[in-house]
C-alpha cells in the first residue's frame, strides 16, 4: 500500500471510485481549474495577451488540488458533499498537519508531488492569427486519490493533473472573405485540439497516478464483463481504454541505460 507523509504525518493512498471522482470534479472551485481561458488573440490589433498567470516560455501552471469531501447520498441517488462534516474535516486536517492555511498546506503537498506547467502550443493556432480573433481555452483532466490517516480519522482527496488539452473559440472576424478563403485552404478551428499527457517525474506523483489509472482500468473491465465481454465494447468504452493505456505508457518509468 502506498503512503505519503505531509509535515511528518503519514497518510495511506487509495484509489477513488469513478462516481466519487465525478462528484469531486463537479466542485465549483475545482471546475475553475478544469476549464480555463488562458490566451486571447486580437486579429485587428495583431497582438495577444495572457488571461492567466504565465511563466517562462509562456507556460501555465497545472495546479494540484486538495479537497475535503465527506460524501453522502443525495435525494436523486448521486454522491454529494456533506457540507458540515467536510468543513470540520478541513479544520482538523489543517490542525493535525500544523498548517496555518490552505496555501501553506498546498505548499507542503507540492513538496511531495510535483507542480507541473504546460507551455501553450501557439504554433497550432497561429494559422488563425491573420483572419480571426480567438481565445485559447485549456482543459485539464485530473487523477483522484484518497489520502487517509485512519488513526486520527483524517482524510482528503488529492487531485493531480493527468491530461491537458487546448482548443480555440473564435471571436471577431474582421475580414470575412479572407477568413473564408483560409478555411477553404484547410484552416479549420475544429481540428485544432492538441492534447498532452502530464508527466509524472517524481515517485509520489507516479505512484498516485498509477493507483488512479489501475482503478479506472479495473472499473472498465467490470463494465465490459457485465455486458458480455470485450467484444461488446462501445466506441466510448474503446476510447476510454485507449486513453487510459496511452497515459499508462506515457508515465511508465523508462529503464536506465547501461553506461
- Residue-wise pLDDT for 162-171, tens only, equals 999 999 999 9
- Residue-wise pLDDT for 229-258, tens only, equals 888 999 999 999 999 999 999 998 765 555
- Residue-wise pLDDT for 133-172, tens only, equals 999 999 999 999 999 999 999 999 999 999 999 999 999 9
Burial 19-53 (b: 16+ CB within 10 A, else e): ebbebbbebeebeebbebebbbbebeeeebeebee
| Angle between the N-to-C axes of helices 83-97 and 102-109, in degrees from 0 to 180, rounded to the nearest 10 | 60
- Residue-wise pLDDT for 28-84, tens only, equals 888 999 999 999 999 999 999 999 999 888 999 999 999 999 999 988 888 999 999
Amino acid at each position: 500500500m502506498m503512503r505519503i507523509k505531509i509535515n511528518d504525518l503519514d497518510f495511506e493512498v487509495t484509489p477513488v471510485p469513478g462516481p466519487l471522482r465525478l462528484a469531486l470534479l463537479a466542485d465549483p472551485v475545482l471546475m475553475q481549474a478544469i476549464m480555463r481561458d488562458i490566451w486571447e488573440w486580437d486579429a485587428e490589433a495583431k497582438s495577444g495577451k495572457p488571461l492567466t498567470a504565465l511563466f517562462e516560455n509562456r507556460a501555465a501552471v497545472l495546479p494540484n488540488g486538495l479537497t475535503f469531501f465527506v460524501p453522502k447520498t443525495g435525494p436523486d441517488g448521486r454522491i454529494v458533499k456533506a457540507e458540515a462534516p467536510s468543513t470540520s474535516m478541513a479544520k482538523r486536517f489543517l490542525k493535525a498537519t500544523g498548517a496555518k492555511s490552505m496555501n501553506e498546506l498546498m505548499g507542503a503537498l507540492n513538496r511531495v508531488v510535483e507542480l507541473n506547467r504546460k507551455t501553450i502550443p501557439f504554433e497550432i493556432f497561429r494559422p488563425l492569427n491573420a483572419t480571426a480573433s480567438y481565445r485559447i481555452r485549456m482543459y485539464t483532466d485530473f487523477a483522484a486519490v484518497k489520502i487517509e490517516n485512519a488513526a486520527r480519522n483524517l482524510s482528503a482527496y488529492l487531485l493531480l493533473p493527468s491530461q491537458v488539452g487546448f482548443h480555440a473559440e473564435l471571436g471577431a472576424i474582421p475580414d470575412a472573405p479572407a477568413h473564408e478563403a483560409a478555411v477553404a485552404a484547410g484552416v479549420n478551428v475544429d481540428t485544432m485540439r492538441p492534447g498532452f499527457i502530464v508527466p509524472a517525474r517524481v515517485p509520489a506523483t507516479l505512484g498516485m497516478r498509477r493507483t488512479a489509472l489501475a482503478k479506472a482500468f479495473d472499473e472498465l473491465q467490470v463494465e465490459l464483463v457485465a455486458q458480455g465481454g470485450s467484444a461488446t465494447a462501445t466506441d466510448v468504452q474503446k476510447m476510454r481504454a485507449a486513453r487510459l493505456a496511452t497515459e499508462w505508457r506515457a508515465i511508465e518509468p523508462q529503464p536506465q541505460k547501461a553506461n
